[in-house]
């Protein structure tokens, strides 16, 4: 698919320039914000919506690469990152509330995602579950506990149409959107976002690990700060576990 | 509900669950509140219930109707129940619904499965983190896009128990199907092409083994807000033509039971 020595098609980084652990926000503007928490930071460049930087946290190498909005660009980012050496992906994102189990201002660790996206279906038949790696979920939970930050844990929904969620009545398929939304509410979906389903499906296929933490209806500095701390601490735990194996 | 008409009477127990009359005997499993513990082990085969209960410290038969046989007892002071589901997701969904109505809060399926990867060896145990929804029951609960996912705390308890008991385990996604012979002899089926094409996708996607109940347990569990997990013994490998002998089978089943019983000690009793 790619020549290892060449730059991959979309990302501004190439083989050897990515850490084992990659934090994947959607927004390229969030890359410098998250990178502030790293030591020895190097901004590696930006192509399209893919902004990349690298640094260290407690001596563990960590990359931060944005995916852009939605599963199509996320799939490109994940494929190319796996190809150049990434092994663990943690998404930091924002989301909407669904069934009320997580409310505005909460932080939500996703265990799995509803595949209301188009991209993951071009990888696996729809019956296949989009599941976060158990390791990543447990380490995110443990990190939030040790930092004394309260988080919710559960299933999120990944959609392709942002406005189909926030203004379903405006859409020609509004009865279909309402019917599904109602099922997600009754079935126990806590958050709605736009990238996790493909991130989880693809990571299972490519045999890498993935997880996600989402802020519910907020993107204020304090929440991003807490989520970044949880994610970095979980990465540190995973690296420690790895060296024990 | 103050008055029952004929239709409500027919599915009385199920409706009662929603108006707090937990004394009613559930229609299919023939159980009422107090008959079971919060932690329920779910084998498929009613003939396996007694064998599982032999691993408890004490146990008694509380109900038997159709494919649903239930024994309740204790393991190291923790109340535990075993109920058979019968084969397949339709009868399993009934069991989950009715057991939840009368107090079940955690379900762990204990079953057998066929290997799907080279590295899932006969005799190993698979702890399911999720399931492929290649079955017809869970879609009558939730749209197909919804993930059939096990509870993370149950997965962790099972994993810890496997490590503690030195049991060879894998952790990952399993496939749930409705047609046993569609898996074993796909070429005999009119839809052979679909069966083979999907099977190849599951294998490429890293699905570990194939069974018939987990997807519905996980989906109905999410909807009913109960904890779920599954331990599947790899009993055969159709690609390699391997299966366990009767003696190996029994020893391995015992390992699965002990692994689940030990994990139950990590789950707080919920009354």
DSSP A63-78: EEE---SSHHHHHHHH
Residue B2 has a pLDDT of 36
Where helices occur in chain B by DSSP H, the ranges are 6-10, 12-16, 49-53, 89-101, 152-164, 180-184, 192-204, 214-224, 246-264
User: In the predicted model, is pLDDT for residue B17 greater than 80?
Assistant: no
Per-residue pLDDT, B271 = 84
Question: Which of B152, B174, B221, B223 best tests the A interface by mutation, with the highest count of A CBs <10 A?
Answer: B152
Phi/psi of residue A39, nearest 5 degrees: -95, 165
Q: Do A129 and B147 touch (CB under 8 A)?
A: yes
Residues of chain A with pLDDT under 50: none
Distance between CA B187 and CA B36 in Å, rounded? 43
**Is residue B182 classed as helix, strand or coil in its secondary structure?**
helix
Residue B10 has pLDDT above 60, yes or no: no
- Rounded to whole angstroms, the Cα distance separating B92 from B96 reads 6
Tell me if chain A has a CB within 8 Å of the CB of B225: yes
Phi first, then psi: give them for residue A69, nearest 5 degrees. Answer: -80, 130
Using CA coordinates, name the residue in chain B closest to A176: B143
pLDDT score for B8: 47
Residues A177-180: contacts with CB under 8 Å, at least 24 apart: A180/A116, A180/B143, A180/B145
B206/A207 CB distance under 8 A:
yes
Neighbour count for residue B153 (Cβ, 10 Å)? 18
- A114, A183, A207: residue with CB nearest B147: A114
**How far is it, in rounded angstroms, from Cα A214 to Cα A112?**
12
pLDDT of residue A245: 55
Q: How far is CA B67 from the centre of its chain?
A: 14
Taking the C-alpha atoms of residue B235 and residue A166, their distance in angstroms, rounded to an integer, is: 48
pLDDT at B12 over 70: no
Is the pLDDT reported for residue B13 higher than 70?
no
Q: Cα separations (Å) of A100 from A63, A107, A152, B6?
A: 33, 13, 11, 36
The residue of B147, B194, B214, B230 whose CB has the most chain A CBs within 10 angstroms, and thus the best one to mutate to test that interface, is: B147
Write down the pTM of the prediction.
0.91
Mean pLDDT over the full length of chain B? 93
> Which stretches of chain A sit within 8 Å of chain B by CB?
111-116, 123-131, 134, 137-138, 141, 153, 155, 180, 183-184, 186-189, 197, 204-205, 207
Q: Which residue from B129, B198, B202 is facing A134, i.e. has the nearest CB?
A: B129
DSSP-derived letter for residue B267 is S
Determine whether the interchain pair B205/A127 forms a contact, defined as Cβ–Cβ distance below 8 Å.
no
For residues B64-91, average pLDDT: 98
Query: Is residue B33 a contact partner of residue B24, using CB atoms and an 8 Å limit?
Result: no
Continuous segment of H or E residues that includes residue A244: helix A221-244
Rounded distance between C-alpha atoms, residue B249 and residue B123, angstroms: 8
B47 touching A (Cβ < 8 Å): no
Q: What tens digit of pLDDT does each residue of A90-109 get?
A: 999 999 999 999 999 999 99
Of A113, A127, A138, the CB nearest to B144: A127
The pLDDT-based confidence of B90 (bands split at 50, 70, 90) is: very high
| CB-nearest partner of A131 from B141, B149, B225 | B149
Reported confidence tier of residue B19, pLDDT bands at 50, 70, 90: very low
Q: By the 8 A CB rule, do A197 and A71 touch?
A: yes
Q: Which of residues 199-218 of B touch A (CB under 8 A)?
A: 201-202, 204-207
* Alpha carbons B29 and B67: distance in angstroms, whole number: 9
ipTM for the predicted complex = 0.91
* Structure confidence by residue, pLDDT tens digits, B128-157: 999 999 999 999 999 999 999 999 999 999
Query: Over pLDDT 70: what percentage of chain B?
Result: 92
Please tell me which residue of chain B has the smallest CA distance to A209.
B172
A38, A94, A93: which is closest to A236 by C-alpha?
A38
CB-based contact B146 A189, cutoff 8 Å: yes
Kindly determine whether residue B143 and residue A183, on different chains, have CB atoms separated by under 8 Å.
Answer: yes
> What is the reported pLDDT for B20?
46
Contact across the interface for A112 and B130, Cβ inside 8 Å: yes
With CB atoms and an 8 Å threshold, state whether A128 touches B202: yes
Q: What is the CA radius of gyration of chain B?
A: 18
Residue A37 has what pLDDT? 98
The answer to whether B225 contacts A180, with C-beta atoms less than 8 Å apart, is no
pLDDT per residue as tens digits for the range B204-225 = 999 999 999 999 999 999 999 9
The confidence score (pLDDT) of residue A2 equals: 55
| Nearest CB to B223 within list A126, A128, A188 | A188
User: Smallest Cβ distance to A111: which of B144, B152, B204?
Assistant: B152
Mutate to test the interface with B, among A118, A130, A131, A200 (most CBs of B within 10 A): A131
- Nearest neighbour of A126 by CB, restricted to B129, B144, B219: B144
């Amino acid at each position: 698919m790619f020549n290892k020595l060449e730059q991959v098609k979309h990302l501004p980084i190439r083989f050897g320039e990515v850490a084992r652990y990659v934090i994947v926000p959607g927004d390229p503007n969030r890359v410098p914000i998250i990178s502030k928490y790293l030591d020895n930071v190097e901004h590696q460049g930006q192509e399209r919506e893919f902004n990349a930087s690298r640094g260290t946290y407690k001596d563990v190498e960590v990359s931060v690469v944005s995916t852009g909005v939605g599963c199509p660009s996320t799939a490109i980012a994940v494929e190319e990152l796996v190809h150049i050496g990434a092994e663990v992906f943690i998404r930091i994102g924002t989301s909407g509330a669904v069934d009320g189990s997580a409310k505005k201002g909460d932080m939500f660790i996703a265990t799995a995602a509803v595949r209301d996206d188009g991209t993951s279906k071009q990888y696996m038949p729809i019956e296949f579950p989009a599941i976060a790696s158990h390791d990543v979920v447990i380490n995110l939970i443990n990190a939030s506990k040790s930092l004394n930050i309260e988080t919710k844990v559960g299933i999120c929904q990944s959609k392709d149409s942002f406005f189909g969620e926030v203004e379903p009545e405006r859409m020609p398929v509004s009865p279909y959107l309402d019917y599904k939304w109602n099922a997600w509410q009754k079935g126990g979906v806590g958050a709605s976002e736009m990238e996790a389903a493909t991130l989880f499906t693809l990571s299972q296929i490519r045999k890498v690990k993935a997880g996600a933490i989402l802020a519910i209806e907020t993107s204020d500095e304090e929440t991003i700060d807490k989520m970044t701390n949880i994610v970095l601490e979980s990465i540190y735990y995973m690296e420690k576990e790895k060296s024990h194996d | 509900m103050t008055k029952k008409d004929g239709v409500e009477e027919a599915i009385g127990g199920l409706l009662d669950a929603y108006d707090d009359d937990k004394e009613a005997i559930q229609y299919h499993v023939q159980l009422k509140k107090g008959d079971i513990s919060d932690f329920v082990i779910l084998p498929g085969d009613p003939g396996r219930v007694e064998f599982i209960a032999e691993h408890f410290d004490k146990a008694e038969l509380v109900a038997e109707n159709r494919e649903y046989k239930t024994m309740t007892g204790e393991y190291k002071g923790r109340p535990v129940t075993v109920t058979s589901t019968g084969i397949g997701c339709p009868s399993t969904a009934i069991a989950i619904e009715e057991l939840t109505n009368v107090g079940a809060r955690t379900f762990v399926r204990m079953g057998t499965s066929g290997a799907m990867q080279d590295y899932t060896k006969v005799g190993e145990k698979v702890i399911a983190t999720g399931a492929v929804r290649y079955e017809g029951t869970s879609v009558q609960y939730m749209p197909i896009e919804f993930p059939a996912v096990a509870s993370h705390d149950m997965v962790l308890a099972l994993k810890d128990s496997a490590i503690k008991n030195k049991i060879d385990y894998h952790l990952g996604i399993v496939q749930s199907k409705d047609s046993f012979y569609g898996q074993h002899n796909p070429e005999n089926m009119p839809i052979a092409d679909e069966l083979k094409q999907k099977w190849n996708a599951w294998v490429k996607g890293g699905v570990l083994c194939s069974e018939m109940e987990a997807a519905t347990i996980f989906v109905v569990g999410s909807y009913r807000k109960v904890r779920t997990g599954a331990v599947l013994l790899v009993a055969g490998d159709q690609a390699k033509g391997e299966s366990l002998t009767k003696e190996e089978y029994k020893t391995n089943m015992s390992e699965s039971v002990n692994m689940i019983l030990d994990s139950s000690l990590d789950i707080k009793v919920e009354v």
